[in-house]
């Protein structure tokens, strides 16, 4: 089966963004007069819940707050705006080997895509900060969490990416950093390469095609095609 596309998660996979997200959350909480502060241990636990709005809701449940006690959507919009500003200030780099792998993939005629639970503005901000280019010029296909009914570990966002790519899951590889992402890709029928991030290094990655510190350990595009599922004979 030919390899046609590489589908990337964003946060933790393309770049170590999660601490910047945490900072944006904490600064937004303070700006809004909330006495919440998520330390790294707090945020590691909260990352088991995918989606920023969902993390806020989870935190509120832990505090026994009513779901309507805070306008979650407005709070999350403010956090996203702050995150984009912080991203624009610089200081964020792509993880090792990501830029080279994407360039190599494009040179080989492969399509690069995004399947993420984060929002499109966050994807745009990262691409401008790290690639110096609009997101859709790097990733012709982008599927985000706010476009689907259920976020990772549900397969919805990967299924949306595959639909937009117009290819079968057997012709693509997913790149993830978390167990929730791996489970999402697997449920969509995709083989998945995992590069754990600072917040996911202790996750269970059973079922991944391979687990490596970063994509420099893969061996380039030539090493990817053998990771696709073997066709079943009838």
Give Cβ neighbours of residue 103 (< 8 Å, ≥ 6 apart): none
DSSP state of 88: H
> Active-site residue 93, yes or no?
no
Q: What phi and psi values does residue 114 have, to the nearest 5 degrees?
A: -120, 135
The verdict on whether 107 is a catalytic residue reads no
Q: Of 11, 156, 177, 186, which one is the catalytic site residue?
A: 11
Q: Which two tokens stand for residue 220?
A: 């380039």
173 in Cβ contact with 224 (< 8 Å): yes
CA distance 108 to 6: 11
Helix intervals (H) in the chain:
18-31, 40-46, 52-62, 72-88, 98-107, 120-130, 135-138, 156-165, 179-187
CA 172 to chain centre: 16
Active site residues: 9, 11
């Amino acid at each position: 089966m030919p390899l046609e596309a590489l589908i990337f998660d964003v946060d933790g996979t393309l770049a170590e963004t999660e601490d910047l997200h945490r900072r944006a959350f904490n600064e937004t909480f303070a700006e809004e007069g909330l006495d919440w502060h998520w330390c790294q241990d707090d945020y590691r636990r909260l990352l088991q819940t995918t989606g920023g709005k969902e993390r806020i809701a989870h935190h509120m449940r832990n505090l026994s707050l009513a779901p309507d006690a805070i306008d979650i959507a407005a709070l999350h919009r403010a956090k996203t705006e702050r995150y984009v500003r912080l991203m624009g200030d610089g200081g964020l780099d792509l993880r090792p080997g990501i830029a080279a792998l994407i360039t190599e993939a494009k040179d080989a005629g492969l399509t690069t895509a995004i399947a993420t639970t984060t929002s499109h503005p966050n994807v745009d901000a990262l691409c401008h900060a790290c690639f110096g280019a609009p997101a859709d010029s790097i990733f012709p296909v982008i599927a985000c969490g706010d476009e689907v009914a259920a976020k990772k570990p549900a397969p919805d966002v990967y299924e949306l990416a595959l639909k937009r790519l117009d290819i079968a899951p057997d012709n693509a590889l997913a790149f993830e950093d978390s167990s929730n992402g791996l489970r999402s890709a697997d449920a969509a029928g995709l083989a998945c390469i995992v590069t754990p991030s600072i917040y996911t290094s202790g996750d269970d990655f059973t079922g991944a095609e391979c687990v490596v510190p970063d994509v420099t350990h893969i061996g380039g595009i030539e090493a990817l095609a053998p990771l696709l599922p073997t066709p079943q004979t009838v």
